[in-house]
Amino acid sequence: MDRPYCHILDRLKTVGLRPTRQRLALAKLLFDGGKRHVTAEQLHNEALGQGVRVSLATVYNTLHQFTDANFLREIIVDAGRSYFDTNTTDHHHFFFEDTRELLDIAKDDLSFANLPKPPKGTDVKCVDVIIRVENSHNS
Amino acid sequence: MDRPYCHILDRLKTVGLRPTRQRLALAKLLFDGGKRHVTAEQLHNEALGQGVRVSLATVYNTLHQFTDANFLREIIVDAGRSYFDTNTTDHHHFFFEDTRELLDIAKDDLSFANLPKPPKGTDVKCVDVIIRVENSHNS
DNA sequence: AATTTAGTTTAGAGGAATTCTAAACTATTG
DNA sequence: CAATAGTTTAGAATTCCTCTAAACTAAATT
């Protein structure tokens, strides 16, 4: 699922995306240096901070293209803000309501005793578990 | 958890909300006639459709006040759109990605074999499971 | 029942995140 | 190296939601 940066060119090629300067730079930010959860704006700021000239529109385009290509997974936890997870393997999340940060839950740390069958005529696309936590001292 | 409409006045009183025309009308739409999942806009349209004059701002205010009072539960499944569930008991959801509709999963139909402990210094606020489904014929 | 008060509603402005548009740009193809 | 087809971009537009301050109304006080 995750491969080092040197493979990004290949990965882009296999899904038919041209290796543009912007996509390569964003891919490097995303996939080099471990698993990450980012918002579009975070990634955009990070790119600008490193002198990568890229527009916010392109960051959005790229995040969606990478999600479609299964390089990323979109996590919906926060009304009005999308997170993208570089870990596309089957796993779930803690969400810190205080800091609005995500933390992966390892696959083995959460399992179901039973799961309902999907309603007739539908297929399960994915099962998302969000454990919402807050700092102990809160209220 | 849910009580018939005739108790709405009492419920409002216990949480210190005045029984205004708008709140009573919205409460009636929400709590009469079974469990529901609504967005602010849906509820607003429904109210207008029934000749209830109420502004969208008031619908939002009311939904949040009812959520704070535990008459409703907010469900985050869809980027940039909040759903409110009149069922505030412990349960989870199917989400139909095609129609953007929610369906309750009965408490007994889903259970965990193991759940991770929250990170140090945090308490679990809630555990949300969303089973995302799509029509079988899709792709 | 009139007056005061404090909570409520509202239209419209404002804001945040995201998408759209159409022109300029660039990687690939022939 | 020109043609083409995919890409990027600034800025406008859109969507969902919140804020503001004035008008309104329920409840408390006289």
CA of B54 to C1' of D25 (A): 15
DSSP string of chain A? ----GGGHHHHHHHTT----HHHHHHHHHHHSSS--EE-HHHHHHHHHHTT----HHHHHHHHHHHHHTTS-EEEEEETTEEEEES--SS-EEEEETTTTEEEEE-GGG-EEEE-PPPPTTEEEEEEEEEEEEEETT--
What pLDDT score was predicted for residue B93?
98
Chain B: residues touching A (Cβ < 8 Å): 74, 76-82, 94, 96-97, 103, 105-106, 109-116, 118-119, 121-136, 138
pLDDT tens string A84-133: 999 999 999 999 999 999 999 999 999 999 999 999 999 999 999 999 99
Tokens of A101: 């940060």
What is the residue whose two structure tokens read 């969000």? A130
Tokens of B24: 């009573």
CB atoms B134 and A123 under 8 Å? yes
Cβ contacts of A96 on chain B, cutoff 8 Å:
119, 122
> How close B14 comes to chain A (CA, Å)?
20
Given a contact cutoff of 8 angstroms between Cβ atoms, the answer to whether B20 and B9 are in contact is: no
- Where residue A2 falls among pLDDT bands split at 50, 70, 90? very low
pTM, whole model, 2 decimals?
A: 0.92
Report, as an integer, the average pLDDT of B85-108. Answer: 96
Q: C-alpha angle B24/B30/B36, rounded to 5°?
A: 175
Chain B CA closest to residue A139:
B123
DSSP string of B6-50? GGHHHHHHHTT----HHHHHHHHHHHSSS--EE-HHHHHHHHHHT
Check pLDDT > 80 for residue B6. Answer: no
Which residue of B73, B133, B136, B137 is the best one to mutate when testing the A interface, meaning the one whose CB has the most A CBs within 10 A? B133
Q: How many residues does chain A have?
A: 139
CA of B18 to C1' of D26 (A): 7
CB atoms A132 and B127 under 8 Å? yes
Report, as an integer, the average pLDDT of B42-70. Answer: 97
